[in-house]
Amino acid sequence: MESRREFLKAAATGAVLLGSQSKLALAAALDQHAAAGKSKVVVARDAALHSADGKLDEKRAQALLDHAIATYTGHDKPVEAWKQIVPVGKAIGLKVNGLGGKGISTHFALIMAVCERLQQAGVKPGEIVIWDRNARDLEACGLTISTDPSRIRCYGSDVAGFEEQQESWGMARVRFSKILTRDCAMVINLPILKDHSGAGVTFAMKNMYGVINNPGDLHPNNCNPGVADLNCIPVVREKVRFTIGDAMTSVYDGGPGFRPERLWQPNALIVGEDRVAVDQTAWQMIERKRAEMGMPKLEAVGRSPRYIATAADAAHNLGTNDPQRIHLMEV
């Protein structure tokens, strides 16, 4: 019988192999920017995404997703575009974020839009796992718990449990959710953009705090280097390969909880493979909003998200935070 250590090793190897395959598919579509040595990040916006009374238009959210993915992959047809992103016949996890409660969680409309396109691209319903820390977080996103293997599954680590084997990188000593290690071959990251009272900004990389048993241990020093170290652990680095960041609604201060007085609707999706470049782009979006509202920069209030630069350094090498090396496409 396979030991837990062997299982984790195999899981990590599988992730590397899958990562290579997936990389090939993505690389084919992305040769242009890859050749230039730049990380592509797409920011897709729709000013009419919310109605005057603040309601999200679900059809426009679907269209916005298609626009973002088409721009990213270079394929106008959504199904063809998605085939570049996901492998067929593998379980795909969608890591959402419902920690902030129902007012500031990954939007249900976005999650459903991704599920629809995944299925059209050939992923079977039972191969899709929507997940987060627990039932409460998922319910905050408007989701209902389901473990029926014939349908899209939706459950938290409170159901699946955590590996007993601890994994480490730098200061991160963590046990992973079995949803990440066992139930998903690839994870699409669906964070929601928020100001964060400790980290400064929470988006792609910080969302991985929701896949471990002890996120509280990684919060000291503005989550630096905690966020970067956690993302360096192979099972995260290799399996979590694509971010579709929800910046349709955000909080520019007072996060990560729901603060309606600091709520803002950027009406955007931020998409990319390079998690560092995605976070760098998201951070600048928050800074611009804070400046517009007459608020100090995060640096000035001791909350600069320094973990982004750490993630880009030679030791971590998770991506780039250099604007010169980010091919930013705003559409």
Partner 1 sequence: MRNYSNWKWAVAAMVIVVAVGGTGCKKKASDPFPASDAVAGWQKTSETRSFAANDLWQYIDGDAEQYISAGVVTTSTSDYKYQGQLEATVDVHTMKDAAGAKKILETGVTNDAKKIALGDECIQYAQSVIFRKGNSLVRIVAYESTPETPQALLALARGMEAKL
Asked whether position 102 contacts partner 1 by CB under 8 A, the answer is yes
What backbone torsions phi and psi does residue 176 show, to the nearest 5 degrees? Answer: -90, 150
Distance in Å, CB of 210 to partner 1, minimum:
9
Q: Which of residues 161-220 bind partner 1 (CB under 8 A)?
A: 196-199, 202, 209, 215-216, 219
Closest to partner 1 by CB, 122 or 254: 254
Strand 186-189 with 92-95, pairing: parallel
Distance in Å, CB of 322 to partner 1, minimum:
26
* Contacting range for partner 1; rule: CB under 8 A; set: 42-50, 168-176, 250-258, 317-325: 250-258
Return the DSSP state at 95. Answer: E
Q: Which of residues 42-61 bind partner 1 (CB under 8 A)?
A: 54
**Residue in 98, 255, 266, 319 binding partner 1, rule: CB under 8 A:** 255
What string of H, E and C letters represents the secondary structure of 222-244?
HHCCHHHHHHHCHHHHHHEEEEE
Please give the helix or strand (H or E) that residue 295 lies within, else none.
Answer: none
Asked whether position 290 contacts partner 1 by CB under 8 A, the answer is no
* Contacting range for partner 1; rule: CB under 8 A; set: 64-72, 100-108, 122-130, 229-237: 100-108
* Contacting range for partner 1; rule: CB under 8 A; set: 41-49, 238-246, 249-257, 276-284: 249-257
Closest to partner 1 by CB, 199 or 240: 199
Question: Which amino acid appears at position 150 of this protein?
Answer: S
Which residues lie closer than 8 Å to 63 by C-beta, 6 or more apart? Answer: 46
Which residues lie closer than 8 Å to 152 by C-beta, 6 or more apart? Answer: 115, 125, 126, 128, 129, 130, 146
Count of residues making up the chain:
331
Closest to partner 1 by CB, 68 or 99: 99
- Burial class of residue 21 (count of CB atoms within 10 Å of its CB; 0-12, 13-18, 19+): middle
Closest to partner 1 by CB, 15 or 212: 212
Asked whether position 305 contacts partner 1 by CB under 8 A, the answer is no
Asked whether position 141 contacts partner 1 by CB under 8 A, the answer is no
How far apart are alpha carbons 142 and 174 in whole angstroms? 29
Binding site for partner 1 (CB under 8 A): 54, 99, 101-103, 196-199, 202, 209, 215-216, 219, 223, 253-262
